[in-house]
Amino acid sequence: MKIQMIVNIKNDDGSIEAESTAIEVDVPNYEAFTVSEQFGEIFDQYERKVLEARNAVVKLAKENYLSEIAKKTQSETEEQRGKIIERPKHYAIDAEIGLLGIDTYEIKEGSQKIFST
């Protein structure tokens, strides 16, 4: 049996702000819970897998959202001038759910850096 979790970050008007993030995890099926002497152990396995999956999908959703914010900021600047260049190094944020790796960008006009996220 599997549990699928999908995270959408929405604006106040209901429009989706960033790409949907999904994760799927195997969990014990119904039959595993029917063995009463192992119920506590099976439930613990189920709960741990669900909590790990929840943390992982929220972490990925936050990374996607923050990367989308960086892209939008760049797009606004690019309209004015310059070329967007994705930087190979991620910006790290140590959050309660784990270390987030955010895409970073800079805008260059020729060899001059105009803007950096």
Q: What is the pLDDT along the chain (117 residues), one digit of tens a residue?
A: 999 999 998 888 988 888 889 999 999 888 887 877 888 888 888 888 999 999 889 888 888 888 777 776 655 555 555 565 666 666 777 777 677 777 777 767 777 776 666
The encoded tokens of residue 97 equal 């759910």
In 3D space, the residue among 81, 91, 90, 88 whose CA is nearest the CA of residue 113 turns out to be 81
Q: How far apart are CA 6 and CA 56, in angstroms?
A: 11
Q: How far apart are CA 4 and CA 109, in angstroms?
A: 44
Q: How far apart are CA 45 and CA 29, in angstroms?
A: 11
Q: pTM for the whole thing?
A: 0.61
Q: Where are the domains of the chain?
A: 2-116
The encoded tokens of residue 107 equal 């805008």
